[in-house]
Chain A
Amino acid sequence: MRTVADLRRALIEETAELESRVELAGVRRLAQRRRLAKAGAAAAAAVVALVLALYAATGARSGIPEPLASDSAHPLPNVPLHVHPSFPSVGQVIGTGVPVGPGQEFVLRFTEGPTLVGGLLDTRTGVVRDLSVAYDASPDPRRGGGFQSLGQLVDRSGGVIEYGLYIGTVSRIVVDSGIGRYPAQLAHWSQDPRYTVFWVDHRGTPVEAGVTNRPVDSNAHQPTAYAYDRAEHQAGTTSGRLFIRTDLDINLSNAAPLGASIDTGVPLPDGGTLLFWFVGGDGSAILKAGSRGATGQVTEIRELLTIPVPPSAIGFYRGMTDLPGRNGTHIMVGQYVGPAAKVVAGAPGGNVTSGFAHWSAHPEMIVYWAANVTEYAQTAAIAYDSTQHVIGAYSYGTR
C-alpha cells in the first residue's frame, strides 16, 4: 500500500527535471497582445455607447443600426431551478422553448468566467443537467468579438439544435445547415447584453456520431452561421469552424439497456435489493446501480462507470464504488474484464458476503461485489480461471 509520503515523493520526482523555457520577451509580447485586445474591446464598447447615444438622440430616424436584436428568450417553467452546485449560474438561465425528448427543454446559461453552457431542464423538477462541453465565453483575443462558441445537440424528435454565442452588435443570425437556411432565435445575457446567444432547431442529421467529440467524417457538412447588422451587412460568419456535439454523454445516460440486468439479492437500506445494468450504444456503455423494490420497481441509485464497448480485456478496473448497505455497512463494487471464470471479493468480518456476475452482452466483463463490509478500505478481490488458478488480484487499500 502506498502512503501520502510516497505520493509527495512521486509528485516531486515527476517534475524534478522540468525547467521552464518561457522567456521574458514572450511573456511581454503576450501581455501586450492581451492589452491591445482589451483596448480594442473597450474601444468597441465606447463606439457602441456612442451609437446608442446617437440613436437615442435621433430617435432612430437617421438609419443607424439598432444595437441589440430583440430577445427571443422563452419563459421558463414556474419551478425553482436546480443547477450543478459547483457551477452556479451567473445571470438568468435562458429558456429556449425547444423540447428535447419528453419533459425536457433546452436551456442556456452562463457560469463564472463567463462560461456558456447548454443544459437540459426537467420541466417538472427544475433540475438542469449540463451538457458535456462548456465554453469559455471570454472574447477570444484572436477574433475579438463576433462568433465565439458553437454547439450542437439532437432534439430527439428527428431534429438538430445548433447554438452558440456572439459578442457584439447583431440584428439577426442565420444558420445554413447545408439543407436549408434557418433564422436563429436570439437572447441576451442578463449580465451583459453584448453577449448574444443564438439557437435554431431544424430537421437534419447531427454532424458527429462518435463519443469522442471528434468528427467521424472530415468531409461531413458543417453548419455555418452568419450574423447580420441592421443594415443587412454581414457582421460575421462561422465558416471554417466546427459546431461540436455537446449532448453525447447525456444521450448515453438515457440510452437503452444493453444485455440483461444483474440482480444481486443484496438488501439495501431502502428495503429493496441491489441490481446493476448497462445502458449505452455508439461504442460506449454506462454501468448503473439501482434498487429493486418489492413490487419489482427499479430506482436508479447512481452511475458507476463509463466503459468502451466492447470492453478492453485489462483485468481489474482501478477503484471500487462504495454503496451504502444496511446497518451502516458498505457494499463495495468493482469490475474486471478478462478471461476469469469467477471473481471473489472479500473483506475482514464474519458477515461479509460476496458475489459476481458476467455481463450477458459481453461476458468478459465481470461485475463483483462484497456486502456487509465494515472495513471497506481492506476490500480485495481475486480473479480465478476455470481451473481455479489465480490469474489476478486487486486490493482497494488497507487502513
Chain B
Amino acid sequence: MDEEFADFMRQCATRLHRVAYLLTADSGQAEELTQDALARTYAAWRRIRNDDAYAYARRVLVNLHTDWWRARRWRERLVAQVPERSGGTDVAVATAQRHALARALQGLTRRERAVIVHRYFLDLTEQQTARELGVSVGTVKSTASRALAKLRISPDLEPDSPTGLVVTEGSS
C-alpha cells in the first residue's frame, strides 16, 4: 500500500501543493494543508485507490481550507491599490502585468480566491466549483464576477486582447 501511495504522492503532491498555495497565499500554510489532505487521503486509501484519488485528495484539501476559513474567518477588508499606469503590449509589460495580477490575487477574500482557483486554475465548471465548495451555482457566479472585477478582468474579452488602461491622461 505504501509504495502505491508513494507513487500517488510523487504524481500529485506538488499539484496539490500549488492549489493549496493559491488558496492560502502562504507557503507554510500550503505545506500544512497539503500534508493534512494527504494524511486523510492515506487513511482512506483502500477505499479510494481505484477511483480518482487526486480528485478525492483535492476535495479534502479544499474542504480543509474551507474549514480553516470558517474557523478563523473574520471580515476580510478591501485593500487599496495604487492605480496602474497604462502600458504597451510588449512582452516585458505583459509579464509585469501578470506578476501584478498574481499579487492582486492576494487581495481577494478567501472565498473569491477559492472560486478563481477552481474556475481558472483547475478549469472546473461553475457547477463543479459549486459542488466542490458546497455553495450554490449562483454564489459561484456572483463571487467569480466580483473577483474578476476586483482583478479588473473582463470575462468577455478575447484571450489575446491587448492589455492596458482605457483611461488616459486628460480624458473624462
Contact = CB atoms under 8 A, between A and B. Distances in A.
Q: Are these two chains actual partners, yes or no?
A: yes
Contacts of B80: 312, 314-318, 337
A6 B153 contact: yes
B9 interface: yes
Interface of B: 2, 5-6, 9, 13-14, 16-18, 21-22, 27, 30-31, 34-36, 38-40, 42-43, 67-68, 70-75, 77-83, 94, 97-99, 101-102, 104-105, 107, 116-117, 120-121, 134-136, 139, 148-161, 163-172
A56 interface: no
A377 interface: yes
A220 interface: no
B101 A6 contact: yes
Contacts of B149: 319-320, 396-397
B7 to A, nearest CB: 10
Contact of A6 (B34, B43, B81, B163): B163
13 contacts: A2-B151, A6-B97, A7-B101, A7-B120, A8-B120, A11-B105, A15-B121, A34-B39, A115-B70, A316-B81, A318-B81, A394-B83, A395-B165
A213 B9 contact: no
Contacts of A179: none
A127 to B, nearest CB: 18
Nearest to A111: B70
Nearest to B106: A14
A97 interface: no
Given A24-B2, A28-B2, A318-B78, 5 more contacts: A2-B151, A4-B153, A11-B120, A318-B104, A390-B170
A288 to B, nearest CB: 14
Interface string A1-43: 1111111111111110011111010111011001100000000
Interface residues of A, number: 72
Interface of A: 1-15, 18-22, 24, 26-28, 30-31, 34-35, 85-87, 111-113, 115, 132-136, 138, 213, 248-249, 305-307, 312, 314-320, 337, 344, 346, 377-378, 380-382, 390, 392-399
A395 B120 contact: no
B116 A7 contact: yes
A252 to B, nearest CB: 9
